Amino acid sequence: MNGRARGRLAVGLGAGAVLWAIALVLAAFVVPAYSGEGCQASPGGTTVCGALPPQTLYAVNGWWIVELLLVVAAVAALAFWALHVYCASGAGSAMHAAVFFIVVLAIVAVMSSFSIGPFVLPMLLLLIASAALTPEPSETGRY
């Protein structure tokens, strides 16, 4: 695969990661994430149990989960931007920055593996693939 084709694929994968991150933020408000049963004691001494309505991440956890997802989206966008800078200019520091941001996302995915980690994992894999395919400027025919 030539440099231009690799570059287009890398951009598509990186953009997909950022779009996934934005979709996660939006999903916190609209996608039901919690459901179950609850019981309530009545004044007469009887307990009534039944199904609870499904609730979103935001409804259960409040703004802190949305803020966390916004930070994750920002880190993904920074990684994507750093990969673009590397491809456009060949700056080694941009590739180092991209790797740093990808490692940060990996740490978030591992540390939150029992909550949002499985949803961060696709974004992480897309960015890793994008970094692996990002060509140097000399391969894209610009320089």
Q: Which long-range contacts (CB under 8 A, 24 or more apart) does 16-20 make?
A: 16/126, 17/76, 17/79, 17/80, 17/122, 17/123, 17/124, 17/126, 17/127, 17/130, 18/73, 18/76, 18/77, 18/80, 20/76, 20/122, 20/123, 20/126
Residue 39 near residue 47, CB atoms below 8 Å: yes
pTM: 0.83
Q: Is the pLDDT of residue 26 over 90?
A: yes
- The mean per-residue pLDDT over the stretch 19-27 comes to 96
How many structural domains is the chain composed of? 1
Dihedral over Cα of 45, 46, 49, 55: its sign: negative
Boundaries of domain holding 16 = 3-138
What CATH number did the domain enclosing 36 receive?
1.20.1440
In a domain, 119, yes or no: yes
